[in-house]
Amino acid sequence: QLQLVESGGGLVQPGGSLRLSCAASGFTLDYYAIAWFRQAPGKEREGVSCISASGGSTFYADSVKGRFTISRDNAKNTVYLQMISLKPEDTAVYYCAAGKGYIATLRAPNYWGQGTQVTVSS
């Protein structure tokens, strides 16, 4: 039973910050690229960010570049998404996903978490 579990979502005001966590159980994340996706009502799922297994390569969607930072702590078997300067358009369910190769992971991940809700509203 391989699982990815997201946490850290919630309700924040515009301009606020959240730190999402993606924790793995049943397997080790060391050799997996990890991506964050989001899906808002009425919109297609969007690949937000991704980090390579080594941590040496990252991807950010233009919509979040400069505001979101992805990082990983393999000792804790966890990947993080630090989000600052949040906007209402960031409101979505955020999912983490794991795969081999960060571009391939953005296209077709092997493992999915169940999502955490982020709501940015005044």
Whole-angstrom CA distances from 43 to 46, 57, 107, 116 are 8, 27, 17, 17
Residue 115 pLDDT more than 90? yes
Q: Give the Cα separation of 120 and 11 in Å (integer).
A: 6
The predicted-structure confidence for 61-90, as pLDDT tens digits, reads as follows 999 999 999 999 989 999 999 999 999 999
The two three-digit tokens of residue 37, written as one number? 């996706």
Mean pLDDT to the nearest integer, 6-32: 95
